[in-house]
Structure 1
C-alpha cells in the first residue's frame, strides 16, 4: 500500500470523465497510445498519451468514457505535450474503468 494521504491531498486531484474522440499508435513506442479526449466546455479537448497499447488497440478506446486526472502538470512526450493522465486499474495489466451510467464528458469524479 502507498503512503496514506489526507482528504485535502485527494481533493487536489481534478479527475474528470473524458470521451476519447481519436486514438492512434505512437511511432517508436510499443506501449503508448495518443488520444484526443473531450472533457466538455469547461476543460475542452486535450491530447493525452497513455501506456495501454499492450492491452488495448487504439480503436478499442474510441468513444469510451474514461476517468483522467486533468490538473496534472503537462509532460513532453513524442514531440507533443501529454495534458492529463488516464486513471486505470490492474497490477499485471491495464483495466479500464468506465462509468456504469451515461455521464457527460467533463463530469467530475469524487
Structure 2
C-alpha cells in the first residue's frame, strides 16, 4: 500500500460520476483516447491511455468515476481536464474502468 494520508488531504479530491458522450482516437498516438464526459453542469475533455484495450464505441454512454479537480495536463498536444479511474494500473494489464453499480446522475459526488 502507498503512504497514508489523513482525511483532510483525501477530502481535497473531488470524485464525480461522469457519462461518456463521445470517444475519438488521438491522432499520432497508439495509446490515448479523447473522451468528452458529461459532469452534470459541464462537459470535459479527458484523455486516457486506453486505446490498446477499448474501442471508442464500447465506451460511449458508460458511467465512469472522474477526478474532477485535477489540474489540466497537455498530452499528445491536447489538454486533459480530469482523470478516469481504472484498476489495475500495470503496464501490460487491461485497465478495468471503475463504474457505479447502479445508474446515477452525471455530476453526482462520490462519497
Identify the TM-score tier after normalising by the shorter chain: over 0.9
Q: Which structure shows the higher helix fraction?
A: 1
Partner of 2:24: 24
Partner of 1:46: 44
Query: Are 1:95 and 2:96 an aligned pair?
Result: yes
How far does the alpha carbon of each residue in 1:49-100 deviate from its partner, in whole angstroms, 9 at most, with x for none? Answer: 0011111111111000000101000011233311001111114220111111
Divergent runs of 4+, >3 A: none
TM-score by length of 2: 0.92
- Alpha-carbon separation, structure 1, partners of 2:76 and 2:13: 25
Aligned length: 108
Instruction: Specify every segment of 5 or more residues in structure 1 that has no aligned partner in the other structure, as ranges.
Output: none
Instruction: Specify every segment of 5 or more residues in structure 2 that has no aligned partner in the other structure, as ranges.
Output: none
Cα RMSD, aligned residues only: 1.0
Partner of 1:15: 15
Q: CA deviation at 1:31?
A: 1.1
Contact residue 25 and residue 56 of structure 2 kept, 8 A: yes
